[in-house]
Structure 1
């Protein structure tokens, strides 16, 4: 009997999720209805933020947050080079200029020192800083926020990997260290909406601005109208916005999934702990990515650091061999500064070291304990290593 293929990540859908979506499908509202409001209230409770703004996806969340903070043509924003393209691209959507920051070679995370270096290279005032929480682990936001506040820069935490992560003094998304935090509910993330996103903030005015911008910039506030406020059909557009709304169908799925966040986080931590015990047995050239203290991540990814060169192989060969054994892997991420649309020729030694070694192994709620052992054994076989 063939074994099932283990992708690096996948959704976990149950009958409660199906019932939630079915309920909306048989209701009066498929979009712009009550389910989005209910999801936003639930998300505020989970994150501890005062305001949550649901939207179409994590990329839209980043764009809305930056636009709401008035990032405009020529504004400089700092982004770590180890991230998905959307973090940097959202700056460009607003007309801003991206300056890349290096990362720690073992965690892949922006640090206070790499941020300070990027700010020095920026050569002008920095409008916003976008720390990225990679794989579920948070940057040291106390240190980053301290430096950002000294310069007057705004902070948007890219938290798309880190819903459910706890850190000293609170939760990701609570707004303690940032102006806004963004989230994604893509199927490989901790909770799934099909596609979906959200922004949290403690700034009521920013939240209201983002709500307008997600729906074409429309206002129905009669006190703001320039036309006849007595016209019952009147709606006005005073600023440029987008169609970044989250349909009620997706919100219903996300809301049902959110109710299981605690169980999802627990299982992901259990699976990560099994990997943590298994990988060191393969020897000094295979180990988990580095960890920061004083936090309890909800692991979105399980990232291993493998010295492929020392083991006399390549990542391509390893990934292909694992795939043949029914094990999917991925790389998070190719440094963004090296992509053609940026082509930054600067030196980012931390990112280079991290990128050369990183490999994301399967991690999703539906995995069994034996699946982790299967991955570890297969990895050892492919690398020519025997467990110690």
Structure 2
């Protein structure tokens, strides 16, 4: 059987031709493809602004900068995420804390968030920013988080790295109706890809101007932002210390082309979700739950493996079984607070019982649009067939 990865990009002939057209053009970077891609995303999600960057990590960093995160500030996020969700605050000199996850969605628990905020208010330790992570493509309960933001005075960055194409209630993820900023990822295993890259969306004029400058060295050509009149049409000023977080036109052309099939990709992922439900429903596994208030982009399909269950394997044994059969599963994610770099900050794992339970059981099965029915059936077969099982006698 061929290798079946947990995620894989889908590249069409149209995607290839879009990239070739840029390679033949006058602009490989800082040309017209980037604003075209940005407009396609802002139009799709319904945001006022969208800015392409070279990774979602860069986007998260810029988002923290734009909200004024710095030394002495506190940023809270989910422990079940890639480390970038927390690293972005450390880049700015802030401290990071975590909120335990919901046992059903595996997203940041709004109940635990409220409890932690009440305690933090009493101690004068409220966060400046909270970063909800839409794990596996399913939106957090953003309206409830937004209400808490107004009540306790924190700003909100949605880490939607998994979630382009998803919706929350009546709006697309990325509309920023319930947040200040949203960040998407276009890594090859995500819903759409630009090779590497990300996008930051916002509706705030000031945030928009700040991100626009900071992704390109802190430089402006806007006369209203300059400290003196321009010397000529060539003139620019660096008015703050920024970064080179720009996306190339080559990447943007691929992303723009992929946007035309975004809804198609998400629809196919939902079909695969239903196939898994049919194929795995009788096994001793906890399958993922979709909530009524969100339409997930279904970046990941995470199962949980109870220890000592009917499959006669714990999570590690089942993981090895699947990989032995060329089903290249993964685990998303190791709790961030348990990483060696973070343990020095003294986090107590007992504060995150749901994250601990999740990590002890979670496996991400293959989930991407090109999965076939026969491959899905093979995944089931590999789940139930012990290592060393012989089919020919």
TM-score (norm 1): 0.94
Cα displacement (A) at 1:121:
5.3
CA distance in 2: counterparts of 1:34 and 1:132, whole angstroms = 31
Structure 2 equivalent of residue 299 of structure 1: 298
Cα displacement (A) at 1:224:
3.3
Cα displacement (A) at 1:226:
3.2
The count of residues paired between Structure 1 and Structure 2 equals 381
CA distance in 2: counterparts of 1:225 and 1:237, whole angstroms = 9
Of residues 85-94 and 296-305 in structure 1, the stretch that sits farther from structure 2 once superposed is: 296-305
Q: Is the 8 A contact 1:303 1:361 kept in 2?
A: yes
Structure 1 equivalent of residue 358 of structure 2: 354
Cα displacement (A) at 1:290:
3.0
Pair 1:323 & 2:323 matched: yes
Pair 1:48 & 2:46 matched: yes
Cα displacement (A) at 1:380:
1.8
Cα displacement (A) at 1:45:
1.1
Alignment of 1:104-115 (within 5 A): 104-115=102-113
Q: Is the 8 A contact 1:279 1:287 kept in 2?
A: no
Q: Is the 8 A contact 1:338 1:345 kept in 2?
A: no
Structure 2 equivalent of residue 152 of structure 1: 153
CA distance in 2: counterparts of 1:254 and 1:24, whole angstroms = 12
| Structure 1 residues 265-299: Cα deviation after superposition (integer angstroms, max 9, x where no partner) | 111110011111222211xx312123322222121
Cα displacement (A) at 1:315:
2.3
Structure 1 equivalent of residue 8 of structure 2: 10
Alignment of 1:237-256 (within 5 A): 237-256=238-257
Structure 2 equivalent of residue 172 of structure 1: 173
- C-alpha distance 342-121 of structure 1, shift in aligned 2 (>3 A): farther
| Structure 1 residues 184-209: Cα deviation after superposition (integer angstroms, max 9, x where no partner) | 00000000100010011111221111
Q: Is the 8 A contact 2:31 2:249 kept in 1?
A: yes
- C-alpha distance 15-341 of structure 1, shift in aligned 2 (>3 A): same
Pair 1:364 & 2:368 matched: yes
Q: Is the 8 A contact 1:105 1:352 kept in 2?
A: no
CA distance in 2: counterparts of 1:199 and 1:223, whole angstroms = 24
Cα displacement (A) at 1:35:
0.5
Structure 2 equivalent of residue 207 of structure 1: 208
Structure 2 equivalent of residue 131 of structure 1: 132
- C-alpha distance 141-223 of structure 1, shift in aligned 2 (>3 A): closer
Cα displacement (A) at 1:120:
4.3
Secondary structure of the 2:280 match is: helix
Q: Is the 8 A contact 2:329 2:364 kept in 1?
A: yes
Structure 2 equivalent of residue 217 of structure 1: 218
CA distance in 2: counterparts of 1:106 and 1:352, whole angstroms = 14
Structure 1 equivalent of residue 309 of structure 2: 310
CA distance in 1: counterparts of 2:308 and 2:90, whole angstroms = 36
| Structure 1 residues 147-188: Cα deviation after superposition (integer angstroms, max 9, x where no partner) | 121011000010011111122121111111100110000000
Q: Is the 8 A contact 1:101 1:117 kept in 2?
A: no
Q: Tell me, which stretches of 5 or more residues in structure 2 are unaligned?
A: 389-393
| Structure 1 residues 288-328: Cα deviation after superposition (integer angstroms, max 9, x where no partner) | 12332222212101111111343543322222221121111
CA distance in 2: counterparts of 1:295 and 1:287, whole angstroms = 20
> How large is the Cα RMSD of the aligned pairs?
1.7
Q: Is the 8 A contact 1:106 1:354 kept in 2?
A: no
Cα displacement (A) at 1:228:
5.4
Structure 2 equivalent of residue 27 of structure 1: 25
Identify the match of residue 94 of structure 2 among 96, 99, 102: 96
Pair 1:345 & 2:343 matched: no
Q: Is the 8 A contact 2:290 2:296 kept in 1?
A: no
Identify the match of residue 36 of structure 1 among 23, 34, 37: 34
Q: Tell me, which stretches of 5 or more residues in structure 1 are unaligned?
A: none
Secondary structure of the 2:156 match is: strand
Secondary structure of the 1:126 match is: coil
